[in-house]
């Protein structure tokens, strides 16, 4: 647990709790014993604490911290803190791997910190709905100041060793043998005074500005937190660092108790475990086929067909994971554009080595030897089938053939080949090298081995892979359908687009449905509806009632907007306006890079770039750019023409567009809708409950095998607010299934022809029998 050894006058305590050396109560007990022994032994004059194996401790063991062992764990943690803080012999922490949470806090309590260049330090508790409760909120500001501490703790961002050195969080970067260097360093500081080495004894450097700093950051934090309570609570704890140390620690403990007992912390911890649990997949229709029984094919080389935005993003992801890629594109201009984008993105990393793994071609025969192909051509079934027919002939018989589709029928695509067992769907999300979700879709004939292969591929390329069944829209887009429909029906009844968006954004989404459609392009859904024969390029299909399709209520407003050329922001007109608008950028927009935490003012970046459009493209393909979606949305919304909203230059606020508002008004009048006032609560309930209701259908039909799979899809692919745990978790743990059922009953009675508001039979059954989503396989066992 913590191995004790001595090297002359130096006692070395090596935490040994593989794989992450997390602090269990036993590990902490062993550390206390080791510290006591070292303090008792007169021959010992200094102490080194290190981690055995791949890492320095990665924090408290969450299973224990969140379970029945929490009390002894916390009591042992406090004992370690006390021993370290009062120790009369210098304690040196030797950091490698990831020193996270309690691990980093132990290092901060010690007198000296050494790190290898590859080490990462971080206080990621905010992502678990908590705060760094082992002194982190009190010691960090004493080293880096309140301002930086707020930034580091509320973002939970990684601090690389070099940055830690600059910030004064580590004393030395060690190039050679860490333990050896740490022992010799410890020896060199023996006998030196310790008082000024104790961070607890220091004062906060910007203490006089604390209120000013908090005031200045509060608004930004509130905006980013989107309803999460942990970030602001972290700020409150940091504010207390200007108090005497003991008082600050007491305040930290109070606030930690408040957070730890909150439903949001439980939700975020559920998210943490669910993100990992999706790897333990099982086939929704046959539980015997699962991550244990099915063996993946080894994939070393991948062909990517289609070098559009998705194809280029997928290629970058594969290259970054060290795979060989053959990128095929039949349009030379498009291929050249993609190569430039890929090169530019990889240049920020060790590009030359990764680019050497890329072959580009316009010739299908170059795909003859790859282990797998990911097709990423336009979302058109006929075209995809054509591509698969070709691939079936050209590729080796054992190659896996995957389609990157957001909702087309995998079985129909597979039927175009003689190897339907090797055909599978891999739905990447845009930008494909940034977004973490990979929705993997099995068809009727997809083999267990093929499923295992794409699930393994997700892990290899650092994505969160979720296995789902085949149906129109799969899980994510299928559930989005009712949400969008309900948002449109709300327009008919009197709500303006920006009011729907505001209500959804206040719930915690980064963007409401209309701003989202503005960004993604209204034509995407329109093309899909044309293909499904719900509408045509010229208007509604002949002899079709305006507000109904195949017996279901239908709102033709988005079709009408498309017919007017209002396709959203990614149209050609949008790009031209972006170039012109460069000088209009009056507002400060900041972009933070994940790699080193550096922050850039967008206007300064623009000074080095020809056009704003070029910069956006760069950012889209820079996978270390945090806040990317927000930034992109903010930039786009500044300048481009939009479907529903208008944006004044220099403002990020979506304003009502009189043209659209007039159009909606005329539409209401034409179809006899009476405008009424609708509350935000009703907007949120109708949009989100219809989405969640569809989730119950998805579970009932076996399209997803567990509620947590749906949650992960929404959290990682659709911006569902993390602090609520995902749609299914939220409705079960926060709203309650019975309340959901009653609300759906009320709304469906009021709108009998909105079929998606009819409660799903599974929901009714669960409420009647007192069943729960946990029984369908959520992560309850872990919580």
Ligand X SMILES: CCCCCCCCCCCCC/C=C/C(=O)SCCNC(=O)CCNC(=O)[C@H](O)C(C)(C)COP(=O)(O)OP(=O)(O)OC[C@H]1O[C@@H](n2cnc3c(N)ncnc32)[C@H](O)[C@@H]1OP(=O)(O)O
What amino acid positions are annotated as catalytic residues?
Answer: 60, 102, 105, 125
Q: How far is the CB of 475 from ligand X (least distance, A)?
A: 21
Q: Which of 88, 261, 588, 781 binds ligand X (CB under 6 A)?
A: 261
Beta bridge partners of residue 372, listed in sequence order: 302, 400
726 binds ligand X (CB under 6 A): no
Q: How far is the CB of 577 from ligand X (least distance, A)?
A: 42
Nearest to 96 by CA among 34, 206, 15: 15
Q: How far is the CB of 185 from ligand X (least distance, A)?
A: 26
Bridge-based pairing state of the strands 282-283 and 172-173: unpaired
Q: How far is the CB of 100 from ligand X (least distance, A)?
A: 4
257 binds ligand X (CB under 6 A): yes
74 binds ligand X (CB under 6 A): yes
Q: How far is the CB of 629 from ligand X (least distance, A)?
A: 22
Q: Which of 30, 100, 358, 698 binds ligand X (CB under 6 A)?
A: 100
Task: Please give the full DSSP string across 38-103, using - where no structure is assigned.
Answer: HHH-TT--EEEEEESTT-S--SB-HHHHTSTTHHHHHHHHHHHHHHHHH-SS-EEEEE-SEEETHH
From the DSSP assignment, how many helices (H) and strands (E) are in the chain?
Answer: 32, 25
CA 420/CA 410 separation, integer angstroms: 9
CA 726/CA 152 separation, integer angstroms: 25
CA 714/CA 711 separation, integer angstroms: 5
Q: Which CB atom, from 62 or from 661, has the smaller least distance to ligand X?
A: 62
Q: How far is the CB of 265 from ligand X (least distance, A)?
A: 9
Cβ atoms of residues 29 and 63 within 8 Å: no
62 binds ligand X (CB under 6 A): yes
Q: Which CB atom, from 128 or from 325, has the smaller least distance to ligand X?
A: 128
Q: Which CB atom, from 128 or from 660, has the smaller least distance to ligand X?
A: 128
Bridge-based pairing state of the strands 159-160 and 120-122: antiparallel
98 binds ligand X (CB under 6 A): yes
234 binds ligand X (CB under 6 A): no
58 binds ligand X (CB under 6 A): yes
Q: Which of 13, 15, 49, 77 binds ligand X (CB under 6 A)?
A: 77
Q: Which part of the chain contacts ligand X (CB under 6 A), choosing from 252-260, 395-403, 660-668, 728-736?
A: 252-260
Q: Which CB atom, from 58 or from 159, has the smaller least distance to ligand X?
A: 58
Q: Residue 401 is inside which H or E element, if any?
A: strand 400-403
15 binds ligand X (CB under 6 A): no
Q: Which part of the chain contacts ligand X (CB under 6 A), choosing from 60-68, 473-481, 499-507, 663-671?
A: 60-68
Task: Please give the full DSSP string across 254-297, using - where no structure is assigned.
Answer: HHHHHHHTSHHHHHHHHHHHHHHHTTS-EETTEEEEETTTPPPP
Q: How far is the CB of 262 from ligand X (least distance, A)?
A: 10
Q: Which CB atom, from 81 or from 732, has the smaller least distance to ligand X?
A: 81
20 binds ligand X (CB under 6 A): yes
Ramachandran angles phi, psi of 429, nearest 5°: -115, 145
Q: Which of 32, 61, 114, 450 binds ligand X (CB under 6 A)?
A: 61
- Give the tokens for residue 99: 């020193």
Cβ atoms of residues 174 and 203 within 8 Å: no
Q: Which CB atom, from 268 or from 433, has the smaller least distance to ligand X?
A: 268
Q: Which CB atom, from 253 or from 573, has the smaller least distance to ligand X?
A: 253
Q: Which CB atom, from 74 or from 435, has the smaller least distance to ligand X?
A: 74
Q: Going residue by residue from 275 to 294, which x/- string records binding to ligand X, judged by CB under 6 A?
A: -x------------------
Q: Which part of the chain contacts ligand X (CB under 6 A), choosing from 59-67, 409-417, 446-454, 691-699?
A: 59-67
Q: How far is the CB of 293 from ligand X (least distance, A)?
A: 18
Q: Which CB atom, from 125 or from 329, has the smaller least distance to ligand X?
A: 125
Q: Which residue has the tokens 């309690």?
A: 102
Q: Which part of the chain contacts ligand X (CB under 6 A), choosing from 250-258, 281-289, 540-548, 754-762?
A: 250-258
Say how many residues touch ligand X, by CB under 6 A. Answer: 26
24 binds ligand X (CB under 6 A): no
Q: How far is the CB of 439 from ligand X (least distance, A)?
A: 20
CA 423/CA 470 separation, integer angstroms: 12
Q: Which of 102, 497, 574, 726 binds ligand X (CB under 6 A)?
A: 102
101 binds ligand X (CB under 6 A): yes
Q: How far is the CB of 280 from ligand X (least distance, A)?
A: 7
- Give the tokens for residue 415: 């039927």
Q: Going residue by residue from 117 to 136, which x/- string records binding to ligand X, judged by CB under 6 A?
A: -------xx--x----xx--
CA 403/CA 423 separation, integer angstroms: 8
**Size of the chain in residues:** 783
- Reduced to 3 states (helix: H, G, I; strand: E, B; else coil), residue 508 is coil
Bridge-based pairing state of the strands 372-375 and 358-361: unpaired
Q: How far is the CB of 493 from ligand X (least distance, A)?
A: 45
Half-sphere exposure of 406 (CA within 13 A, CB side): 21
Beta bridge partners of residue 14, listed in sequence order: 3, 50
Q: Which residue has the tokens 């687009």?
A: 497
Q: Residue 358 is inside which H or E element, if any?
A: strand 358-361
Q: Residue 186 is inside which H or E element, if any?
A: helix 178-189
153 binds ligand X (CB under 6 A): no
Task: Collect all residues with Cβ–Cβ distance below 8 Å to 643 and sequence separation of at least 6.
Answer: 514, 517, 518, 522, 558, 561, 566, 567, 568, 660
69 binds ligand X (CB under 6 A): no
Q: Which of 260, 423, 479, 712 binds ligand X (CB under 6 A)?
A: 260
Distances in Å between the alpha carbon of 234 and those of 53, 239, 244?
32, 9, 18
164 binds ligand X (CB under 6 A): no
Distances in Å between the alpha carbon of 226 and those of 232, 689, 729, 742?
11, 20, 18, 27
Q: How far is the CB of 362 from ligand X (least distance, A)?
A: 38
Q: Which CB atom, from 251 or from 549, has the smaller least distance to ligand X?
A: 251
Cβ atoms of residues 56 and 97 within 8 Å: yes
22 binds ligand X (CB under 6 A): yes
Q: Which part of the chain contacts ligand X (CB under 6 A), choosing from 31-39, 69-77, 174-182, 710-718?
A: 69-77
265 binds ligand X (CB under 6 A): no
For 415: left if phi > 0, alpha if psi spans -120 to 50, otherwise beta; the answer is alpha
Q: Which of 207, 253, 530, 663 binds ligand X (CB under 6 A)?
A: 253
DSSP H helical segments within 348-475, as ranges?
A: 351-355, 381-394, 410-414, 448-460
Q: Which part of the chain contacts ligand X (CB under 6 A), choosing from 174-182, 256-264, 391-399, 704-712?
A: 256-264
Residues that bind ligand X (CB under 6 A): 20, 22, 58-63, 70, 74, 77, 98, 100-102, 124-125, 128, 133-134, 253, 256-257, 260-261, 276
């Amino acid at each position: 647990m913590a191995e004790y050894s001595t090297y002359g006058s130096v006692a070395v305590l090596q935490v040994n709790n593989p794989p992450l050396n997390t602090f269990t109560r036993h590990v902490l007990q062993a550390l206390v014993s080791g510290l006591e022994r070292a303090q008792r032994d007169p021959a010992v004059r200094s102490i080194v604490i290190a981690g055995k194996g791949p890492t320095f401790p990665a924090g408290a063991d969450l299973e224990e911290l969140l379970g029945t062992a929490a009390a002894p764990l916390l009591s042992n943690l406090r004992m370690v803190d006390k021993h370290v803080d009062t120790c009369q012999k210098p304690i040196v922490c030797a950091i490698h791997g990831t020193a996270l949470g309690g691990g980093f806090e132990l290092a901060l309590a010690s007198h000296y910190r050494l790190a290898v260049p590859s080490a990462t330090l971080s206080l990621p508790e905010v992502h678990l709905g908590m705060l760094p409760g082992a002194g982190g909120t009190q010691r960090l500001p004493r080293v880096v100041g309140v301002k930086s501490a707020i930034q580091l703790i509320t973002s939970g961002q990684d601090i690389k060793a070099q940055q830690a050195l600059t910030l004064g969080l580590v004393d030395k970067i060690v190039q050679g043998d860490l333990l050896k260097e740490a022992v010799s360093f410890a020896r060199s500081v023996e006998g030196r005074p310790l008082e000024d080495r104790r961070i607890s004894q220091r004062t906060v450097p910007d203490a006089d500005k604390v209120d000013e700093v908090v005031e200045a950051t509060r608004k930004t934090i509130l905006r980013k937190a989107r309803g999460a309570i942990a970030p602001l609570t972290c700020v409150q704890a940091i504010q207390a660092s200007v108090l005497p140390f003991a008082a600050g620690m007491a305040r930290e403990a109070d606030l930690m108790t408040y957070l730890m007992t909150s439903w949001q912390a439980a939700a975020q911890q559920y998210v943490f475990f669910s993100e990992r649990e999706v790897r333990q997949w099982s086939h929704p229709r046959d539980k015997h086929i699962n991550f244990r029984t099915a063996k993946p094919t080894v994939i070393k080389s991948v062909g990517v067909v289609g070098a559009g935005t998705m194809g280029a993003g997928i290629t970058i992801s594969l290259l970054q994971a060290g795979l060989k890629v053959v990128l095929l594109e039949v349009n030379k201009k498009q291929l050249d554009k993609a190569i430039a984008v890929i090169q530019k993105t990889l240049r920020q990393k060790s590009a030359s080595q990764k680019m050497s793994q890329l072959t580009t071609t316009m010739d299908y025969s170059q795909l003859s030897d790859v282990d797998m192909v990911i097709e990423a051509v336009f979302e058109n079934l006929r075209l995809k089938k054509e591509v698969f027919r070709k691939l079936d002939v050209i590729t080796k018989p054992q190659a896996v053939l995957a389609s990157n589709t957001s909702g087309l029928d995998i079985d129909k695509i597979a039927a175009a080949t003689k190897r339907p067992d090797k055909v599978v769907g891999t739905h990447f999300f845009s930008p494909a090298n940034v977004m973490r979700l990979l929705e993997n879709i099995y068809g009727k004939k997809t083999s267990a081995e093929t499923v295992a292969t794409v699930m393994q591929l997700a892990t290899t390329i650092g994505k969160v892979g979720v296995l789902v069944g085949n149906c129109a829209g799969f899980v994510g887009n299928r559930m989005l359908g009712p949400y969008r429909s309900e948002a449109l029906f709300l327009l008919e009844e009197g709500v303006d687009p920006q009011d729907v968006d505001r209500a959804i954004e206040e719930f915690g989404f980064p963007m409401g449905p209309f701003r989202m459609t503005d960004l993604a392009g209204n034509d995407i859904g329109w093309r899909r509806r044309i293909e499904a024969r719900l509408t045509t390029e010229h208007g509604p299909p002949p002899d079709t009632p305006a507000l109904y399709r195949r017996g279901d209520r239908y709102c033709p407003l988005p079709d009408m907007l498309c017919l007017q050329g209002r396709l959203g922001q990614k149209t050609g007109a949008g790009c031209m306006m972006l170039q012109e608008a460069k000088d209009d950028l009056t507002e400060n927009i900041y972009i933070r890079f994940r790699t080193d935490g550096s922050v850039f003012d967008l206007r300064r970046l623009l000074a080095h770039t020809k056009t704003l459009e070029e910069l956006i493209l760069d950012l889209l393909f820079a996978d270390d750019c945090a806040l990317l979606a927000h930034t992109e949305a903010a930039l786009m919304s500044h300048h481009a023409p939009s479907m529903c909203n208008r944006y004044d230059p220099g403002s990020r606020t979506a304003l009502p567009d009189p043209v659209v508002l007039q159009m909606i008004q005329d539409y209401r009048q034409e179809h006899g809708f009476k405008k009424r006032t609708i509350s935000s609560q009703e907007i949120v309930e109708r949009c989100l409950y219809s989405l969640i209701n569809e989730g119950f259908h998805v579970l009932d039909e076996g399209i997803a095998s567990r509620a947590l799979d749906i949650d992960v899809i929404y959290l990682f692919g659709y911006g569902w607010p993390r602090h609520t745990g995902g749609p299914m978790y939220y409705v079960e743990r926060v709203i309650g299934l019975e309340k959901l059922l009653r609300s759906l009953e009320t709304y469906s009675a009021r709108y009998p022809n909105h079929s998606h508001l009819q409660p799903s039979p599974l929901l009714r059954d669960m409420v009647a029998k007192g069943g729960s989503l946990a029984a369908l396989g959520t992560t309850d066992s872990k919580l």
